[in-house]
Amino acid sequence: MTEITAHHGLFRNTNLHVDDTGGSGRPLVLIHGWPLSGESWSKQVPAFVEAGYRVITYDRRGFGRSDKPKTGYDYDTLTEDLHTLLTELDLQDVSLVGFSMGGGEVARYFSKYGTERLHSVVFASAVPPYLLQTSDNPDGPLPKSQAEEMTAGLTKDADAFYDDFTTSFFSVDGELKVTEAERQEALALAKQASKTAALEAMASFANTDFREDLPKVTVPALVIHGDSDGTVPFEGSGARTHAAIPGSELYVVKGAPHGVTVSDTDEWNRAVLEFLAK
């Protein structure tokens, strides 16, 4: 457990909470989804360590145990935070795994920093290529009305919003696919988020267009997604990301919700580990 200073500000620094298992294995950086924290990878870290990897998780600024500044929730800044982590820890030959919102940092990394430090990447139930449905992005799976409803709900009553959100996060057709205890764990992580950060980050993952970033992904890439994801629907996100990255691999988890890393842990871990071993 450590902290890195992701941004040296004029009046204050932004420190990120980092958990690093250490060891001599190839580094694997896991980037969490919204509105959770690095602790959301608890069902992956032991399996990946057992497979011989040095596993690093961190809490995105504004979430979990990291600093919660008022600004910096655009993807360029968030990706700069990720790059700072890689450079501060002097990580080379890295595999990045971005879940949901975290897939955005993975995509943007190639445009900002290239491939020098990277071995491979995983887009896991990830938001690229472009969530918001617009006139030039008709296949975007997030209608503007739904985005506005989410913003209004979180603004009005964060506790009620997160309770509903974590339920849908882990559900398929109204049926919860995890235990209530597992849902409560995610709910507790969500409540650690700064409300400002949650709202600003929500706007970023809804409105950021990654269509020009994805063709720059030239290292081995896996797209893994549940086909019953009601939060980031597969057809409008994972399927399009796979099509946009030449040579990428696709793994679809049948009947899985957005929170597939918890609902279908063994299958998800096995598929990702098989890809990482190549």
* Residues with active-site annotation: 100, 229, 258
DSSP 132: B
User: Tokens standing for 25?
Assistant: 């294995």
The total of other beta-carbon atoms located within 10 Å of residue 18's CB is: 21
- 66 burial (CB, 10 Å; 0-12 / 13-18 / 19+) is buried
Residues contacting residue 48 through CB under 8 Å, at least 6 positions apart = 28, 55, 269, 273
- CB of 21 within 8 A of CB of 87? no
Q: How far apart are CA 34 and CA 202, in angstroms?
A: 8
Give the angle subtended at the CA of 258 by the CAs of 202 and 37, to the nearest 5°.
Answer: 55
